[in-house]
Amino acid sequence: MMSANFDREYRLAAGKAGGMGFEIGEKSKSQPVPLHINFSIERTDLETQNTGRVTVWNLNKEHLATLDEKDCVLSLKAGYGSRMPLIFAGIVTNCITTHDGADRKTEIEVVDNLVEIRDTYVTISYVGTVNWKTIFDDVANQMGVAVTYSYNAEFADIANGFSFVGLARDIMTKGCACCGLVWSLQNGVMQVKKPGDVMSREVFVLSEDSGLLGIPARVTEANSETSDKTSIGWEVEFFLNGAIHIDDYVKLESKTVTGYFRVAKLTQAGDNISGDWTCTARLMEVQG
């Protein structure tokens, strides 16, 4: 496992949705060493949008002009060898270029699904009995995003028809409240599940053999502002693994703790010139 973490590769692409853009990161005779890149991506299981910061050195004028376009889409794939899963995709919200010695440094701030959350108004209307899953499917379709449901999600029926005109995020929140579910957007995919639960029963093992670094740190979180109950979890660090996502099911194997948890928070960070590519995750007890 350790040797597999040295052949680091990335691909960064940017441009208007459906239009022309650029991609960097691939090695060539003219570019034997890819442009210097540093990234930090933060994700949670909340309805709030995920954010990322990507810094690239020595982009050319055409690259910078593309990043300056309104609602420019940026995607980052990172991994080892030919395995480069998607780490983040979102809209560029801020882009600043400054001098860094003899080099030129561009800091890019990106937000997950900004356009879908900010701009999507939906109009839906049903006659007779309608199931909330049908409504969620139709809302996701109007938002232009895929939707996935956890293995144990259940959906209530609405009798006597239903109509709604307004922001897509508002109807998603209302519908999930009616069904005892929660939703979030992760890289253009809407996830709907039970609170505190995982999306599927597939288990990822985190151990020293699979890239676990250091000693897990115990954390305690309040379940809500109005509840006295708390949840126990662990803060862990491991080599970058783009296959592990928010609300995935993880088996943690360490000298400190062994058990099954869900990924509640995830930070992915790295630099292709120095240091390791790592993930820092908050693993919480599975509820439900």
Calculate mean pLDDT across residues 146-173: 94
- 79 exposure class (CB count in 10 Å sphere: 0-12, 13-18, 19+): buried
Confidence (pLDDT) at 104: 96
Calculate mean pLDDT across residues 75-98: 92
Is this model's pTM higher than 0.85 or not? no
Distance CA 115, CA 19 (A): 16
CA dihedral 215, 216, 218, 220 (to 10 degrees): 150
Confidence (pLDDT) at 252: 96
Domains of the chain (ranges, CATH numbers): 3-114 (2.40.10), 116-193 (3.55.50.30), 203-284 (2.40.30)
Tokens 């889409």, residue located: 73
25-44 CB burial, b ≥16 within 10 A, e <16: beeeeeeeebbbbbbbbbbb
**In 3-state terms, what secondary structure has residue 172?**
helix
Tens digits of per-residue pLDDT, 226-263? 556 788 899 999 999 988 999 999 999 999 999 999 99
Residue 288, both tokens: 């439900």
What residues form DSSP beta bridges with 53? 40, 109
Confidence (pLDDT) at 2: 46
Tens digits of per-residue pLDDT, 164-209? 999 998 999 999 999 999 999 888 788 999 998 999 888 999 999 9
